[in-house]
Amino acid sequence: MGQGKHALIFGASGVPGWSFVNEMLNDYPQPQIWNRVSALTNRPLTREAAMWPADERLDIVSGIDLLKGSQDELEEVMRSKIPQVNSVTHVYYFAYKANHDLHKELQDAVDMFRRAITAIDHLSSGLEFVVLQTGAKVAKTLSEIDSG
């Protein structure tokens, strides 16, 4: 099956993460490139609710809190919950945790990414590629825009 690629998508229930999982299950960028697609979400998610195709390559893994416990404990949780984590070749990182305190939100984002990538680097010797989505979060209500 495939060329031996295993994608691990952090934040798979968000818009960009969902899209990546969906495209991989539809053989993007080429047919049968992905042997396994591991979709990580913080909260439980079913394949039916996500509207992903029924596909034996898909593993939906929920309940991994990237901020909880020591680095060793996180790695043990990932090892026990993510099937064949040692075969991950590609990581797509879209995880996000909102917070009203923007300084705390930033610190959580940095810590989550650092811990996640450190863990997968320790758990999979075949890691080839990491994508980190970045950007700015700016939101205003219509009344704020109209009055400003």
Q: How high is the pLDDT of residue 32?
A: 86
Token digits of residue 29: 């960028």
Q: Count each helix (H run) and each strand (E run) in the chain, helices first.
A: 5, 5
Sign of CA dihedral 41, 44, 47, 50: negative
Helix %, strand %, coil % of the chain (to 5)? 40, 20, 45
- Encode pLDDT of 64-99 as tens digits: 999 999 999 999 999 999 999 999 999 999 999 989
pTM of the model: 0.88
Question: What percent of the chain is predicted at pLDDT more than 70?
Answer: 89
Q: How high is the pLDDT of residue 2?
A: 46
- Encode pLDDT of 58-69 as tens digits: 999 999 999 999
> Residue 37: helix, strand or coil by DSSP?
strand
